[in-house]
Amino acid sequence: MSATLMESGAVVERTDVRRPGLGAVLRSEWIKLTTVRSTWWTLVATFVLGAGLTILMCWGNADWLASEGADESPGSFITWGMMIAQITAVVLGALVVTTEYGTGMIRTTFAAVPARGRVLAAKSVVVVAVLFVVGTVTAFVGYFGGNYFLDREGIGMSLEGDVLRAMYGSGLYLAGIGLFTVAVGFLLRHTAGTISIVLALMLILGNMVNLVPGEFGEWLTKLMPGNAGSAIATPVSFNPNLLDAWTGFAVFGAETAVLLLLAWAMVRRRDA
């Protein structure tokens, strides 16, 4: 395919022009992500809520957890804040996509990068990378802070096995949530709608399906994206009836992949 370009003030025909690759689109999406304040606010909120609430809960419950009457495991508290921090991951995943639709900037994006699948891929990669790093760091800080109080009561946990897995598991879970929301964002193209639907699915519907009776209800609960995915972010889950950490995360990954495929098909077909 030849390209018609301007060179030294004259119109020329060139046949050796190669289309900029995924790397260029990734750089572009990275600049977009890092040049708006909402990204920084969201990430600060992730850190403050994720690490802060974990430390607060460990401080407040260490005494009780060490006592005879405790019916929960300290392992359920060591990444407690992540349950709340997942909300900020939803917000980040939505904003990266839906603000472009809200302002109409998506047309500028698709005019600059007509291969729309690359835009979806690049947005996915930057969201996953940022949330994985921030989520993991947050979990570690929460662990060190929270474990200090648990240690004082003699119920501290060493950083190995399931506890260590829960650290990068927290990063993986936030990254997964962000990616899930990116897909929903491309499907709905609306900020408030995307955030509400994902939060309702993760936090409200995920708990309500508990009420569905019988084995069907049990499986439904296990397979809901928020329930399946979150087990990896904690050494001991509050809910004993969830899938195993990695099995659950694989289910959550598959659900996210289906949504992404759907989003990809729609983005290619739909008028921008």
Q: Provide the binding-site residues for other proteins, judged by CB under 8 A.
A: 1-6, 9-11, 17-20, 24-25, 27-29, 31-32, 35-38, 99-100, 103-105, 107-115, 269, 271-272
Cβ proximity to other proteins: between 103 and 241 the closer is: 103
Report in angstroms how near the CB of residue 78 gets to other proteins at its nearest. Answer: 36
Distance CA 87, CA 204 (A): 12
Distance CA 232, CA 234 (A): 6
Amino acid at 163: V
Cβ proximity to other proteins: between 8 and 158 the closer is: 8
Report in angstroms how near the CB of residue 123 gets to other proteins at its nearest. Answer: 12
Report in angstroms how near the CB of residue 6 gets to other proteins at its nearest. Answer: 5
Category of 48 on φ-ψ map: left (φ > 0), alpha (ψ -120 to 50) or beta: alpha
Each as own residue / partner, the long-range contacts of residues 105-114 (CB below 8 Å, 24 or more positions apart, any chain) are 106/272, 107/272, 110/272, 112/28, 113/25, 113/28
Cβ proximity to other proteins: between 17 and 70 the closer is: 17
Cβ proximity to other proteins: between 5 and 261 the closer is: 5
Distance CA 227, CA 170 (A): 14
Report in angstroms how near the CB of residue 48 gets to other proteins at its nearest. Answer: 21
Tokens 């996509």 belong to 97
**Helical ranges in 153-224 per DSSP H:** 161-188, 191-199, 206-208, 214-223
Report in angstroms how near the CB of residue 198 gets to other proteins at its nearest. Answer: 21
Tokens 């920084």 belong to 40
Strand partners, 4: 13
Nearest to 190 by CA among 116, 103, 112, 121: 103
Cβ proximity to other proteins: between 19 and 208 the closer is: 19
Report in angstroms how near the CB of residue 182 gets to other proteins at its nearest. Answer: 17
